[in-house]
Structures are given as C-alpha cells and as structure tokens.
C-alpha cells in the first residue's frame, strides 16, 4: 500500500469500510507531505455539514504537519471547516479550533461551559447544569457539539458515542464507568489530571460530565431527543 498515489490513498481512506479507514489513519499521516499537491482539493469530497471524521483527521494532520495549507482549507471568517449551527447564538469557533489542534482538555472545558450557557443564565450563575434544564436545550446545539467531537476524534468521543455504549450495556452505568475510563477498580478517575486528554483515551472518555451531583445530568443529556430520535 506504500506505492499508492496520494489520490488512491485518500480515495481508499474516505470511501472504505470503517475497518479500512482505521487501517489508513497512520498511513495518511505518513503521507502528509503529499497533501501540498492537492491544495484546497484535499477536502473537496467531504461535506462540511457532516460529522465525517476522515475530514477531521485530514485537518488535524494538516494542522500538525502542513499548517500553511490550513489557511487554504478554512475560511478565517467561519467557525471552522465544519459548519456549526446554534439555536441560541452560540459561537463554536473556539471549540472547533481547540479540537482541530487536539487540545482536548480545553475543548472539554469549553463544552462544559457551553452546556451551562445553553441551559440558561441561572446555570451559568450556579456553575453547573441541573438535569431538569436539559430538555430546554435545543437539539441543534447538542447535535453541533456532538458532530464536532465525533469529527475530530476519529469517531471516538461525543455524547452519542456514550449513549451508544450505555445502550449496549442496557443502561448499566456501573458498567459504563470502567469502559470509558471514568472509574478503575471502583475508584473514580481524578479530575483533571488522571483523565487521558488525547485520542488514545478509551472510546466515550470525553466529553466529561461531573458525577459529583449524581448521574441524572448525564442521563438527561444522553437521553435527549437529539441523540435518541426514537425516544423523543
């Protein structure tokens, strides 16, 4: 596969099965010097309204190895390559930039503060969201947050990922915690330093939801109609 042209490689990366995509992640990074010959065509087959993590990975590789290409791919007046939408006037540019740069801890803090903003002024004042405020958050914002996390994590992080894992465990949170790295041997992972702030974290590790006040906030979020169209 090393004698593939960059076009062939990207074609296989973007249209292959999930397993093939995963196999090509490393190879795509090794060939990043060939991105220059594609220029702005690098992402032409991807949809900025999607949550396609192949596009997110290509952007992250560019950001690290070909930063001069980034300005050709991303309009500086936009909120980033992926289009974002809000029903509450939230600007997602800083979050998307943090995710692009793989500053996952910053992105996680921005996600928590965005959730407080979306829940309303009393949540901002209080410093945390009440579970009862979650239903008032618009679907479009939760979907935007989730799309950005999915797109910039090779599909590993996001509320919908946590929702899928919990569903596979039939709603048993005690089994979810060790699976997503929030609890080990019965002991909660210590915030913030014991968390894994990188793509090598377990699936569903981010975004974090503090469990200090119980599971109801997280439960309300991942059962929101945005992630569970069948249950709305």
Q: Least distance in Å: CB of 127 to ligand UYC? A: 7
Given 112, 138, 164, 178, the residue binding ligand UYC (CB under 6 A): 112
The interface mask with ligand UYC, positions 125-164, x = CB under 6 A, is ---x------------------------------------
The stretch near ligand UYC (CB under 6 A) out of 61-69, 135-143, 152-160, 205-213 is 205-213
- Tell me whether residue 65 is exposed, middle or buried, using C-beta atoms within 10 angstroms of its C-beta: 0 to 12, 13 to 18, 19 or more: middle
Given 210, 225, 228, 232, the residue binding ligand UYC (CB under 6 A): 210
* Helix 139-151 with 104-119: angle, nearest 10 deg: 180
Closer residue to ligand UYC, CB minimum distance, 37 or 188: 188
Alpha-carbon span 93 to 100, nearest angstrom = 10
Closer residue to ligand UYC, CB minimum distance, 101 or 105: 105
- Identify the CA nearest to 138 among candidates 208, 226, 48, 17: 226
> For residue 90, how far is the Cα from the chain centroid?
17
Given 9, 62, 145, 208, the residue binding ligand UYC (CB under 6 A): 208
Alpha-carbon span 131 to 223, nearest angstrom = 11
**132: DSSP letter:** G
Across the chain, the runs of DSSP E, i.e. the strands, are 183-184, 187-188
Given 21, 189, 220, 221, the residue binding ligand UYC (CB under 6 A): 189
Judged by CB under 6 A, does residue 219 bind ligand UYC?
no
CA angle, residues 175, 178, 180, in degrees to nearest 5: 100
- CA neighbours closer than 13 Å in the CB half-sphere of residue 60: 26
Given 41, 191, 225, 232, the residue binding ligand UYC (CB under 6 A): 191
- CA neighbours closer than 13 Å in the CB half-sphere of residue 21: 14
Q: State which residue has the least CB distance to ligand UYC.
A: 211
Closer residue to ligand UYC, CB minimum distance, 188 or 196: 188
ω into 134 cis (within 30 of 0): no
Total chain residues near ligand UYC (CB under 6 A): 11
Q: Least distance in Å: CB of 119 to ligand UYC? A: 12
**Residues engaged in binding ligand UYC (CB under 6 A):** 112, 128, 182, 188-189, 191, 208-212
């Amino acid at each position: 596969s090393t004698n593939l042209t960059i076009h062939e490689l990207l074609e296989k990366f973007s249209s292959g099965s999930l397993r093939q995509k995963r196999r090509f992640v490393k190879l795509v990074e090794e060939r990043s010097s060939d991105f220059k010959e594609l220029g702005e065509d690098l992402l032409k087959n991807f949809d900025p309204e999607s949550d396609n993590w192949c596009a997110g990975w290509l952007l992250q590789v560019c950001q690290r190895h070909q930063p001069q290409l980034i300005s050709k791919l991303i309009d500086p007046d936009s909120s980033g390559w992926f289009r974002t939408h809000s029903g509450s006037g939230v600007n997602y540019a800083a979050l998307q930039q943090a995710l692009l740069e793989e500053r996952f801890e910053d992105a996680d803090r921005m996600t928590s503060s965005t959730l407080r903003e979306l829940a309303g002024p009393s949540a901002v004042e209080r410093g945390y969201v009440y579970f009862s405020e979650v239903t008032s958050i618009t679907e479009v914002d939760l979907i935007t947050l989730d799309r950005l996390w999915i797109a910039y994590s090779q599909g590993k992080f996001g509320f919908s990922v946590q929702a899928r894992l919990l569903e596979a465990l039939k709603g048993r949170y005690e089994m979810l915690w060790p699976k997503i790295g929030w609890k080990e041997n019965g002991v909660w992972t210590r915030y913030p330093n014991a968390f894994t702030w990188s793509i090598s974290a377990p699936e569903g590790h981010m975004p974090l939801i503090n469990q200090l006040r119980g599971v109801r906030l997280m439960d309300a979020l991942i059962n929101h109609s945005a992630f569970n169209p069948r249950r709305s």
